[in-house]
Amino acid sequence: MNANLNHIAKFKTFTKTENLESIRKFIFKNSTKFGFNEYKAEELVLAVDEACTNLIKHAYKSDSQSSITIEIKSNKTNLIVNIIDNSPAFDPRYVKDPNMIEYRDEYRKGGLGIFIMKSLVDSIDYKTINNGEFKNILTLVKQLK
């Protein structure tokens, strides 16, 4: 998938919940520019919002001095969103999907963010790199179809 990628846009912001709106606008603007209809664009917006919300609230524990970088790239058929941060490593691909019947029966609140994120994109990848500075890279891919 890395062959023939075009860099579309990059956005860096502090890890504050009030910055989530700017992230959502950034994703929507660039995904509609890529060719997504509003519905598909909003699916990607929600997936990225869930990922960034989890980073802010859980990984950074609302530490507003850290930052998240979002890179958007594309090829002919996919929009690729990289969410880059330096929080403690956490791979959401290994989070087990919830049992929705148990979830409903126990009247749980919250805890569906990763499940929602996975269901709204076509693929998720995660890696860490350490070339002098530790980074997590969460990659969300959504097909144009």
String of DSSP letters for 101-139: HHHHHTT--S--HHHHHHHHSSEEEEEEEESSSEEEEEE
Range of the domain at 109: 6-143
Q: How many domains would you assign to the chain? A: 1
Q: What is the mean pLDDT of residues 10-16?
A: 97
pLDDT digits (tens, 9 = 90+) for 17-41: 999 999 999 999 999 999 999 999 9
**Residue 77 in this model has a pLDDT that exceeds 70:** yes
Alpha helices in 1-145 (DSSP H): 20-34, 38-54, 100-105, 113-120
* CATH (domain of 46): 3.30.565.10
- Residue 134 in domain: yes
Look at residue 61 and tell me if it is in a domain.
yes
Residue 1 lies in a domain: no
The terminus-to-terminus CA distance of the chain in angstroms comes to 16
130 within some domain: yes
Query: pLDDT for 91-124, tens place per residue?
Result: 988 888 888 888 788 877 778 889 999 999 999 9
